[in-house]
Amino acid sequence: MTGEAVATVRAMLVIGGGYHDFDLVRRRLLDLLGEQERIRTICTHDFRDQDALAAANFLITYTTNIFPDAQGLRILEQFLAGGGRWLAIHGSAAYIEFSGPEVEIGGIRLPGLTDTPDRHPGYMDLLGCRFLSHLARQPFTVHPVSDHPLVAGLPPFEVVDEPYILELRGESEILLESRYTGEAPGYVKGPWLEDVPRPQAVLHRHGAGEALFLAPGHSCGRYDMQPFIAEIEPQVGPWDSPAYLELLRRAIRWGAHLTVGVP
């Protein structure tokens, strides 16, 4: 063997929580990560493997109601401050709990309205945004609004997804936007009737590192809404969309500190 060894990228993939098709998303992300020979990935369902996080260069999360403990939050802050990059998708910005009496929404009986109190402020500050609620799942168009390499030259594309309403935390660069208004069925917060741009990709810098949040990414399998409903029609969301997968490819190269847009 001759020549200088090529450094590998240590990625940590955290996928877990509830109400989403985590198996489908895990497969899609591992396929995309596997396209980059330099990336070596550890998979887990929460933040308890703090040694893996401390050793990682790149963190990817697709979670709902999964958060690090106090020590894990310190490690996450150090990870970003030291130059790590965090790709957080969809529910990774969400903390939800149920409030009030039982309600039935779209044939699904819930133990109350879905509320999103700010229970994890340190985590949300590091991410740069927080989920508040969403409109009913529907098609909408996502538009690039930046010349950042992550989205430069990317045409507008349509997704069938949950239109997210976000609260921004600290200074951020908005890379993708959409516009929509409407009710937020089943949520405490809403309706959202003001016709304003809605961030879909938020880039937040912390120290030498960066966090990129992508709002689109909903997917739900036939049995993923149990115990609230026995079966639903599977929802693949944008995970079969060529434009969305191209965005994720760019995000993975960005997270690995590789040149974005180069295969």
Residue 106's pLDDT is what?
Answer: 80
Q: What is the DSSP letter of 215?
A: -
Residue 1's pLDDT is what?
Answer: 43
Q: Average pLDDT for residues 227-244, to the nearest whole number?
A: 95
Residue 154's pLDDT is what?
Answer: 96
User: Residues with Cβ < 8 Å from 164, sequence gap 6 or more?
Assistant: 90, 93, 131, 134, 198, 200, 215, 216
User: Is the omega angle on the peptide bond into residue 227 within 30 degrees of 0, that is, cis?
Assistant: yes
Contact call for residues 152 and 200 (beta carbons, < 8 A)? no
pLDDT in tens, 97-117: 999 899 888 888 889 999 999
Q: Is the pLDDT of residue 263 over 80?
A: no
User: Residues with Cβ < 8 Å from 103, sequence gap 6 or more?
Assistant: 109, 110, 112, 113, 186
pLDDT in tens, 40-62: 999 999 999 999 999 999 999 99
pLDDT in tens, 171-219: 999 999 999 999 999 999 999 999 999 999 999 999 999 999 999 999 9
Q: What percent of the chain has pLDDT over 90?
A: 91
- CA distance linking residue 36 with residue 33, whole number of Å: 6
Q: Which of 133-137, 228-232, 243-247 has the weakest average pLDDT?
A: 228-232
SS3 35: coil
Contact call for residues 52 and 12 (beta carbons, < 8 A)? yes
- Average pLDDT over the chain reads 95
Q: Is the pLDDT of residue 166 over 80?
A: yes
Q: Is the pLDDT of residue 133 over 70?
A: yes
Task: Give me the CATH topology for the region 9-255.
Answer: Rossmann fold (3.40.50)
Q: Is the pLDDT of residue 235 over 60?
A: yes
Q: Where are the alpha helices (DSSP H) in the chain?
A: 22-34, 50-55, 70-81, 121-127, 242-255
- CA distance linking residue 50 with residue 46, whole number of Å: 10
pLDDT in tens, 153-162: 999 999 999 9
Residue 105's pLDDT is what?
Answer: 84
Domain residue extents for the chain: 9-255
Residue 108's pLDDT is what?
Answer: 83
Q: Is the pLDDT of residue 4 over 80?
A: no
| Block residue for tokens 């992550």 | 150
The closest alpha carbon to 88, from 131, 146, 122, 49, belongs to: 131
Residue 70's pLDDT is what?
Answer: 98
- CA distance linking residue 45 with residue 104, whole number of Å: 30
User: Residues with Cβ < 8 Å from 254, sequence gap 6 or more?
Assistant: 85, 87, 149, 150, 212, 260
Q: What percent of the chain has pLDDT over 70?
A: 97
Q: Is the pLDDT of residue 15 over 90?
A: yes
